[in-house]
Amino acid sequence: MSRTQSLLLIAGSLLVAALSSYTYLAKQNSPDRWYSQAQVDQGATLYLDYCAACHGNQGQGAENWTQLDASGKRPAPPLNGSGHTWHHSLANLTHTIAQGRGTMPAWKDTMTEAQIIATVAWTQSHWSKAIYDAWSKANP
Ligand code: HEC
């Protein structure tokens, strides 16, 4: 293995470690949130199976998601709190996921309502307290 490859490997491992502790800390934040840890755990598996391909493993969204792609379509936005998702109520988010929007397929025939809600719980477990509080206030 070349020196550059080893350095890349080390950098990659550090990134994974940082992301896992971030996720861990984010989960510690949740006593006042609407969802349970069980929903977050259920959502994590569903999210990786059905959503990560477009929205990214950590819900970070597609690269350059604010710009239309070559075919004029909107790329998948982040769901981790860094995008606009927090402007939408829980009912609105689950409706979008169930029915699909733009190039996103509808999920209502693949997942139950409870499973869709669990994917939202997982994405919201990545939201900072500031974003979550802003969302709660805007969507009581
Ligand atoms: C094939 C790619 C693709 C997959 C798979 C996918 N999405 Fe999306 N999703 C998109 C795109 C593209 C948009 C933006 C649609 C638009 O507004 O035109 C979107 C929008 C959304 C929105 C609205 C976000 C906002 O800020 O308005 C939510 C919530 C969402 N997706 C959740 C999910 C969940 C949960 C899953 C897994 C069950 C999923 N998506 C799977 C492509 C995808």
**Mean pLDDT value across residues 106-115:** 98
Ligand 1, atom 15, lies closest to the CA of 102
What was the pLDDT predicted at 3?
74
What was the pLDDT predicted at 48?
98
pLDDT band at 2 (very low <50, low <70, confident <90, very high): confident
Find all residues with CB under 8 Å of 116, minimum gap 6, and list them.
94, 97, 98, 107, 108
pLDDT digits (tens, 9 = 90+) for 73-84: 999 999 999 998
Mutate to test the pocket of ligand 1, among 46, 66, 88, 101 (most ligand atoms within 8 A of CB): 101
Angle between helices 113-124 and 90-99 (to 10 degrees): 120
pTM of the entire predicted model: 0.82
Whether the pLDDT of residue 19 is over 70: the answer is: no
Spans of all domains in the chain:
31-138
Answer CATH for 31-138 from 3.40.1080.10, 1.10.760.10, 1.10.3720.10, 3.30.300.30: 1.10.760.10
**Mean pLDDT value across residues 20-42:** 75
